[in-house]
Structure 1
Amino acid sequence: MTTTEVSSDLVVTGREDGVLTMTINRPAQRNAISHDVAVQLAAALDRLDADPSLAVGVLTGAGGTFSAGMDLKGFATGQTPMLPGRGFGGLTQAIVRKPLIAAVEGWALGGGFEMVLSCDVIVAAENANFGFPEVKRGLIAGEGGVFRLPKRIPYHVAVTALLTGEPITAVDGKALGLVSVLTAADGALTAAQDLARRIALNAPLALALTKEVLRQTQTLDDAEAFKCQAPGIHTLSTSEDAHEGAVAFAEKRAPVWHGR
């Protein structure tokens, strides 16, 4: 069963396979992020985390573009796509417990690229481009771009992109490790949804803890990281899902997860 919710600027589609697809739907504006988009996307992400029937989110843009960044016309009238505690687009500073995949066609620029970097996995078409042109406008990529990009690709490559404002192609992004899956043009969403379904087969508690440990340990040494993850691993190992995983393996059947 598929359910689709269409608001003014965001199309949200939930499917029985546990995948929630969120499509920024402002193609005439190159999917520039307005305040309304940020509010609607924040609500969709909250739905993803709260609904036990949903396992993975996919974020994409309509009309062959992911997002050109901030809606400058809205900004000129006093509107901002920044939400308190959640950042640009309701995403860049948010904590999303469930896996989130970016499906990128065309351009992901400025805040749009920062939203991509806020996702866990990037699937991109070979015609996609990522960039931070902020320095050309007297600004910097202040919603995570400056410090997240050097963690995803080699430092000097990232710094060159940040200082020149020049884009990184998806083909180069795949070679650099930024892009997990590279597809033909118009294939990013299908590939992202296929990957999402594969992830959704796994235990929800284990997926959430994997994200939490990743988020909390990136700046820790090994000893600190082991200490940090220990409570969560203990809780997970005594969960019903962990027991179900072992029993299903022994019985040679697919596990039935309950998220507890």
Structure 2
Amino acid sequence: MSEPTVLKEFRDATAIFTLNRPKALNALNDQLMREMAAALQEADRDDAIRAVVIAGSERAFCAGADITGLDGVAVNDVLDPNGFGRGMFDILGGYRKPLIAAVRGLAFGGGCELALACDIVVAGDNARFGVPEVALGLLPGGGGTQRLIHAMGKQKAMKMLLTGDPITAQEAYAAGLASELVADAECMERALAIATRIARNGPLAVQLAKDSARAALEMGLTQGLAMERRNFMLLFGTADKQEGVSAFLEKRKPSFTGK
């Protein structure tokens, strides 16, 4: 059997998925994307998992698509729900639980898009982000042209998209692509600390807060506010809401069950 391209680790309420193609700088091939999709779905079904951290190696979070696999991609893949990368990126785009990217080294092409698909990006100070697809006569196909604009604004995103030139971790943090900037050696520790902090909150509240925030990117203001209001009211019918309020009034830590 071939070595797994995604390593899975579980710490308390956090799943850690580490890309494991070090010789290829964690480039995305069909096997890695299938394994990542399966790992994400497994964690989504597990009520004990309340946050997911996605990581790479010190040299590369992910250097992008494996160029050797692009020759097999055809135009009709656009209609294939299992076409190149579509399954993994579709799952990421609609994922219920918080996704945290711990980015060290290169995050190029599909690797940058993988980070962009996460909710929180912790960048090591030597990380570099780029979408160099135009140099290959291509464009980002995993959400890069859309999510980069939302993350950084039109002007900075267009410079990256049209030149293909990468930016430093410091530039990514200043532009809003990265949530936090830390020393490389602290990147995983900080990502896990954020996941642990999230896991202490009501899981249904976290999921519906993420759902509401996603509406801000996908809907107009009126529709987004309606979604927020709906999710706000839904939480009033949960046991977790009652537990959270009771714990606050009783000055104790809440014990959420996700119900």
- Relative to the length of structure 2, the TM-score reads 0.91
Q: Structure 1 CA distance, aligned partners of 2:225 and 2:17?
A: 35
Preserved CA contact (<8 Å) 1:248 1:254: yes
Q: Partner of 2:165 in structure 1?
A: 166
Q: Partner of 2:129 in structure 1?
A: 130
Q: Structure 2 CA distance, aligned partners of 1:19 and 1:156?
A: 36
CA deviations 1:35-72 (Å, max 9, x no partner) are 11111111111122111111000001124210111112
CA deviations 1:101-152 (Å, max 9, x no partner) are 0000000111111111100000010100000111111011122111110111
Preserved CA contact (<8 Å) 2:85 2:142: yes
Q: Partner of 2:183 in structure 1?
A: 184
Richer in helix (by share): 2
Q: Partner of 1:204 in structure 2?
A: 203
Q: Structure 1 CA distance, aligned partners of 2:40 and 2:151?
A: 23
Q: Structure 2 CA distance, aligned partners of 1:246 and 1:111?
A: 42
Amino acid at match of 1:209: L
Q: Structure 2 CA distance, aligned partners of 1:239 and 1:210?
A: 14
Q: Name whichever of 178-187 and 163-172 sits farther off.
A: 178-187
Taking a change above 3 Å as real, the CA distance of residues 256 and 7 of structure 1, as seen in their structure-2 partners, is farther
SS of corresponding position for 1:182: strand
Q: Partner of 2:89 in structure 1?
A: 92
Amino acid at match of 2:102: A
Q: Partner of 1:37 in structure 2?
A: 32
Q: 1:26 aligns with which of 7, 16, 21?
A: 21
Q: Name whichever of 237-246 and 176-185 sits farther off.
A: 176-185
SS of corresponding position for 2:18: strand
- Relative to the length of structure 1, the TM-score reads 0.90
Amino acid at match of 2:253: A
Show structure 1 runs of 4+ deviating over 6 A.
Answer: none
Q: Structure 2 CA distance, aligned partners of 1:247 and 1:183?
A: 37
Preserved CA contact (<8 Å) 2:30 2:84: no
Taking a change above 3 Å as real, the CA distance of residues 237 and 84 of structure 1, as seen in their structure-2 partners, is same
Q: Name whichever of 118-127 and 210-219 sits farther off.
A: 210-219
Preserved CA contact (<8 Å) 2:61 2:107: yes
Amino acid at match of 1:193: L
Q: Report the aligned-residue RMSD.
A: 2.2
SS of corresponding position for 1:92: helix
Q: Partner of 1:15 in structure 2?
A: 11
Task: After TM superposition, list the pairs within 5 Å mapping 1:1-260 onto structure 2.
Answer: 8-16=4-12, 18-76=13-71, 84=81, 88=85, 90-94=87-91, 95-260=94-259
SS of corresponding position for 1:234: helix
In the alignment, structure 2 segments of 5+ residues that lack a partner are none
In the alignment, structure 1 segments of 5+ residues that lack a partner are 1-5
Preserved CA contact (<8 Å) 1:152 1:177: yes
Preserved CA contact (<8 Å) 2:18 2:55: yes
Taking a change above 3 Å as real, the CA distance of residues 209 and 117 of structure 1, as seen in their structure-2 partners, is same
Taking a change above 3 Å as real, the CA distance of residues 72 and 220 of structure 1, as seen in their structure-2 partners, is closer
The Cα of 1:229 is off from its aligned counterpart by 2.7
Q: Structure 2 CA distance, aligned partners of 1:52 and 1:12?
A: 17
The Cα of 1:189 is off from its aligned counterpart by 1.2
Preserved CA contact (<8 Å) 1:37 1:89: no
SS of corresponding position for 1:124: strand
How many residue pairs get aligned? The number is 253
Amino acid at match of 1:142: G
